[in-house]
Amino acid sequence: MKSIILVSTTTLALLFFPLLLSLQAEVAYAQPNPREDLTVTDYSWKSYGVGRMATLGEITVANSGKNSYRNIKIRIDLFTRTGKLLGSLDGKIPEELPAGSQKTFSNLDLGLMNSDLENSEAMVTGAEVSQSSSLESAESVIFIKNWEFEGASFGTEGFITEITLENTGKTHFKNIKLLLTEKDGGGGPGSTHLSSVTIHNVLPAGEERTFTGINVGFSSPNAIERSIAVSGAEAITTKELNYILSGGGSLGERIKKKISSVSILKKKDGEKKAEPLQETSSSDEPGSTYGGGNESAPSPASSVGSTDSVAEKNIELSQEQPREAFPKHDIVIREFEWGSGIPGATATLSKLVIENISDIAYEKIELEIEFFKSSNTPFGSNRFKIKEVLAPKQVMWLRNVQVGFISKLPDPNLIKLRVVKAKAIM
């Protein structure tokens, strides 16, 4: 009898262990990340040199997150002109930087320098969340209005056939996580089944949306009670929301494929009204281009939970929007052509045309080039940087751009190019 109980306990532990890890990941996922939220946009030296006190006369930090931060940790890496790392300096800004703001701080001491200064790069390595921060968690502002469930007859798969979520906060969210709890009638060990599922979609601030056809995986055929709760989501900025809704990025591409004649329930003047969809042209949309912009190839297939009721429509915004650096949206790949390259050697693009559609200048632009087989499965990718500064509203033409080593010769019509990141110059 003891051995049977031990085996059952061990089995239950093995079944629930991945779910517990998932729930722990969701909790960690919702935590603020100052290294992503805070960016050094500009800085200037006041004093430096071997054996001298290193001091920044001014340093400007932008906070793109939803939290206010204080005790911001700054690191300055020192390089030679050839890019060799000589050493690092550390400093701390004790003042508070409010959410969604940018501020310039003066006279930041970094300690004694032990190397010559030729080139340097500043970055944020950490910060404390201020008590005045007003971060909205998805669990506190997203409410489930109604939902319908269709269980499997033999305990294989279950579906949330329809669920309506309302975002009552001021934060836009994507990748909404749901936790489904099923209770059997026995009440003994194993009578409760948990399933975690993610709606790969967006839920703008102040909106109500209905999602359909969500596969939750295993469903208990003997369940007599089911409950659903929001367990997390990823906060996004207004610019990223518009980027996704316009078809940009992998999530935007998947959403766009599922667009049909659906409607959005929006809160306006205290009432909810259905608004018809309006199709948006993708000819000038930012995002990836295949085959140098001359030929089109299908993007690799991606699975998605519920996207039937996601609309390709920008939300109503003020005409005057704050300067918000989002290089994936701001830097558009207009055209590129495959150049030379043999397996085991460095390959090049013979032509690359990029455009900055924003009023923010960018430098250190990093791009990723992906190579696909005829079956649309990737077989390799490289990342490379463009060191030139891309000014606001500028179109840049580049020739013979090195993209790194290749292991096999790709099909020029099955190449994907996208912007990964860039440093904003505010």
Continuous segment of H or E residues that includes residue 42: strand 38-47
- pLDDT tens digits for 53-94? 889 989 999 988 778 888 999 999 888 777 778 888 999 999
Say if residue 121 is in the same domain as residue 183.
no
Give ∠ CA 247-250-256 in degrees, rounded to 5: 35
CA–CA distance from 228 to each of 154, 164, 188 (Å)?
21, 12, 21
Asked if residue 235 and residue 173 are part of one domain, the reply reads yes
Report the chain's mean pLDDT, rounded to a whole number: 74
What's the pLDDT score for residue 262? Answer: 33
Q: Domain check: are 152 and 277 in the same one?
A: yes
How do residues 212-259 score in pLDDT, each as one tens digit? 888 887 777 777 888 889 988 888 888 888 888 877 665 655 554 444
- Final residue in a domain of this structure, among 129, 157, 178: 129
- 338 with 369, same domain: the answer is yes
Distance CA 360, CA 77 (A): 24
CATH number at residue 174: 2.60.40
Residues 285 and 337 in one domain: no
pLDDT tens digits along 346-380: 899 999 999 998 889 999 999 999 888 876 777 78
Q: 378 or 279: which carries more pLDDT confidence?
A: 378
Q: Which domain holds residue 346?
A: 327-425
On whether residue 170 sits in a domain, the answer given is: yes
Number of domains, the chain? 3
Could you give the CA distance from residue 243 to residue 260 in angstroms, rounded to a whole number?
A: 19
Cα 394–Cα 385–Cα 285 angle in degrees, nearest 5: 45
- What pLDDT is recorded for position 154? 56
Q: How far apart are CA 285 and CA 282, in angstroms?
A: 5
